[in-house]
Structure 1
C-alpha cells in the first residue's frame, strides 16, 4: 500500500496544471482506495492509543528505536546520537535542535537520498527567511489519520465534502475565487477579497453541494459568519462541524461562528508544516490541547531545554516526529510556546496537555506602556454584538502602550460605532494601553490570505 500512500501525497503536491488535468480521474477512485489499509490501520491505532497504555508504550518505543536507527544514517545525527542506545525516557539527554541547526547541517541532516523526499518550507514572516526542509513522500496517509481522528468527533467520515476557506489565490490565479476539487471532495473558496457578493456566492455553492463541514482560516470563517448575521442569510442544511486551521481561534470568533451557523462543533488542532507535533483540542476545554503520542514525542521545555513538569508553567514546545523520518526532527524547537496542563505519563497514555499555545509568528499578545505582554483576548468580548458595524478588524502595534484598531466597516457601519468599540476596549485596558481607531479599506494579510488577529511589530 505504500505506493498508493505516495500517490496520494504526490497528487496533493503536484503542479497545478497536472493536478487539474488528472482530477477527474482521481475523483473516480473509490474512497476505500483513496483511504486504504494503511489509513485504516493508523485510524484504529490512534483510537486505541486514547485508552490502551500498554499499546502506546510498545508503539512509542518501537517507533523511537526505528527513528534513531534511520537518523544514524545521517552524518549530522550520527554525531549527535553517538551510537548510544536510547529509550523515550532518555530523550532529554539529546540537545534541543533549532531551525538554524538544521539549516547549517544542510544535506547532512538527511537520512535517505534527497530524491526520495518532498521539499517543504515554512512561509516565513516578521522579516525572517522561510525555513526549508524535507518530508517523507508517504506521510500523507499518516497525517490525515490524526486529522480525521479529531474531526470524527462531530461525525465526519473520510470522503465527505468540505468547504475550504484557506487560499488567497486558487491555483495562483488572481480573480479565480472558487473551485470544486472533486478528487478530494473540497469546495475551495478564496479568502481574498471576500466581498459581500463573493460571500453570497460561497453560501450558494455550499447549499448546492449540501456541504455540512467548513474548513479553513478562523479569520475568514468569522467574516463569512458576520456576513450571514448582517444579511440574515442561513444555510439550507446546518453545519455539523467547523475545522479551524493555521491561525489561533479566539473566543469572539467561536461565538460569532456559532451565532451564525448554530451550535456547531468547532474542532481545531495544533500542527505544523514540519510534522513534529500534533494535538487536538480537548473536548469542552477551549484552548487546551492534547498531544498525540503515536505522532511523536511532544515536550514542553524551559529556555535551557530542561523538561517542564510543574503545571501552570510556560515553556517552548519541542517535538520528535514519528510521522516523517527521511529528514529526522528530533527534539526540534517549534519556537511556539504553551503552558503545561499535565505531563505525559502512563496513567494518561503519554498524552501531554498544554494550553494557551502561542505561535511565535502569530503573537496573541499586546505590549503595555511598561513593556509587559498582555494577552489580547482579555480585551475582546465574545458577544458578536460588541462588533456591530464592523466587517473585520485587526490590532496593530509598533509602539509599547499604543494599539491601533484597524477596521473595515460593514455596509451600514458608522465611525461612531467604531469609536464606541474602542472606548469599551479602553475602559477595560485602563492606563496600560491606549487604543486608537483607524478605518482602512483592507487589512494586512499574508501572501496566502491569512489575516492575523494582531499585526504585532514589537518583540518582547
Structure 2
C-alpha cells in the first residue's frame, strides 16, 4: 500500500504544495504510512535482538528463493539448480544454498532482466543505471518501494546526525522537477528547499544561503562534491556568517565521499556530523559509514559478501569484490549480484556479515590516458588541505591521448602565485604520464545530473564519471 506521503511526493513539484498544510498537520510518525512504520520497527528490533534478526534473515532468504525459482531465468538456468533442489527441500540451510549459486554479472542482469521478474509486470518498472562503470545497466524494480527505502535513509540520518522526520533540509539537486527558469523551490510538503546545483556560484551564494538562514535550516543534503563547493563559497564570500555554526548534519549521498571533503566540512560546519552511506540503484545493499570510515551493512536490507578472486570470502585486512543479495524487494530477485565495487574487510557484525572500508570501483575508474593508450589513475591527483584553498573547483579535460588541460575555477582570494603553485604541483604529479596545460575559468559547469567529476574525458571508450 502506497503512503500518502509517497503519493504526494510523486506529484509534479508545483502540485505538491497544495497539500503541504495537510501533510505537515499529520504527525510525522503517521505521515509516512504503514510500510515505513513497519520497516522502522524491524530495523530497530533487529539491532536490539540480533537472534531475531538472524532468524528473520533466514526466513526472508527462503522466501526469496521460493520467489526466484518461479521465474524463467532462475527457474531454468542450469547454474541455478541448487534453487530447484531447495524448492524440493525448503528446510535446508538457505545460506548454504546461497553460497552454491553463481555470481550474477551486470551483463547477465541487463540481458535477462525481463526473465527475472517475479510479479505482474505492471507492478515493476524498468530502471537504467550507469553504475560505477559508467556503462548502462538495465533491471526492474517494484514501483511501490519508496516508503521502505525512506525508512532506512531516515534511520541512518537520525543515528549519524540526530535528524528528525520534521526537520527541514536544504537539498542540492542536479536534476530538478520544477520550471527550468527557477533556481530553487520551497517544498513544505516534504520539508525541503530544493536548490539547483548548477545555480551555485560566488555571485549568488549570499542569496542562496539566505534560503537556509531565513528558515533556520540545520541539515544540508546532496552530493558531497556540491556540498563542499557550497561550503567553500561560504568560507570565502561569507566569512562572518554565524549560521554555519548551527548546521547539525551534512547528509551526503550518491558520490564518493573523500577525506578532503571531510576536512572542509569540519572547518566550515564545525558542529555538524556527516552521514554517508553505501547504497545501490539496484537496492541490494545499504551500509552506513561510521566515524572511522567503516561501513556497516543493514542485515534485513540484503546479504553482503566480500569475495576474493577465487570466490572465497575475504578475511580481515583483505580486499574483495562486493557481492549482494537483496532481501527487501522480491519483485525482481537479485541473487549474489556483483556490484562492480571492491572493499577491504574490517570485521564482522552481529549477523555474520563483513564490515568494510575503502570502497573502490573495480571497473571504469576515473583516469587519464597516456600517449601509449594506457590508463593513468587519478588517485594521485586528489588535493588536500591548504593546496585546495586557492581554487573553488578544478577538473581535467582530455581530448587526445597524452595531453590534458587542467581547468581551474579560482577562489575569490586566490593570487596568481598561488594558482601557479597549484599548477606546478599538478605538473609534478603528472610528470612522465601526460603533458599538462592550464585553463583558468570563471566558473566550471556542472553536468546536467549535478554530479561533479574530476575528469572530463572525451576520448571515445574511456569512462571517467562516478555513478
Displacement after TM superposition at 1:216 (Å): 0.4
TM-score by length of 2: 0.85
Aligned mates of 1:350, 1:52 — CA distance in 2: 14
Per the alignment, residue 132 of structure 1 pairs with: 138
Partner of 2:257: helix, strand, or coil? coil
Displacement after TM superposition at 1:51 (Å): 5.9
Is 1:211 matched up with 2:221?
Answer: no
CA deviations 1:29-82 (Å, max 9, x no partner) are: 331222345434433432343464312210110111111122223211222444
Displacement after TM superposition at 1:242 (Å): 0.5
Displacement after TM superposition at 1:281 (Å): 0.5
Aligned mates of 1:357, 1:125 — CA distance in 2: 11
Contact 1:94 1:331 in 2 (8 A): yes
Aligned mates of 1:177, 1:145 — CA distance in 2: 29
Gaps of 5+ in 1: none
Aligned mates of 2:127, 2:16 — CA distance in 1: 18
Is 1:73 matched up with 2:80?
Answer: no
Structure 1 202/278 Cα, relative in aligned 2: closer, same or farther at 3 Å?
Answer: same
Greater mean deviation of Cα atoms: 28-37 or 89-98: 28-37
Contact 1:72 1:78 in 2 (8 A): yes
Is 1:275 matched up with 2:283?
Answer: yes
Equivalences for 1:23-422 in 2 at 5 Å? 23=20, 25-50=22-47, 52-80=49-77, 81-82=80-81, 83-85=84-86, 87-123=94-130, 128=135, 130-152=136-158, 153-168=160-175, 170-171=176-177, 173-231=179-237, 232-236=239-243, 238-283=246-291, 285-286=292-293, 288-303=294-309, 306-342=311-347, 344=348, 348-359=350-361, 363=365, 371=374, 374=377, 376=379, 378-383=380-385, 385-396=386-397, 404-422=405-423
Would you say how many aligned residue pairs link Structure 1 and Structure 2? 447
Greater mean deviation of Cα atoms: 351-360 or 213-222: 351-360
Aligned mates of 1:227, 1:292 — CA distance in 2: 35
Aligned mates of 1:369, 1:154 — CA distance in 2: 47
Structure 1 386/10 Cα, relative in aligned 2: closer, same or farther at 3 Å?
Answer: same
Greater mean deviation of Cα atoms: 154-163 or 32-41: 32-41
Gaps of 5+ in 2: 87-92
TM-score by length of 1: 0.86
Aligned mates of 1:74, 1:421 — CA distance in 2: 57
Contact 1:363 1:454 in 2 (8 A): no
Aligned mates of 1:364, 1:51 — CA distance in 2: 41
Contact 1:247 1:362 in 2 (8 A): no
Aligned mates of 1:369, 1:250 — CA distance in 2: 29
Aligned mates of 2:304, 2:210 — CA distance in 1: 42
Displacement after TM superposition at 1:362 (Å): 7.5
Structure 1 201/88 Cα, relative in aligned 2: closer, same or farther at 3 Å?
Answer: farther
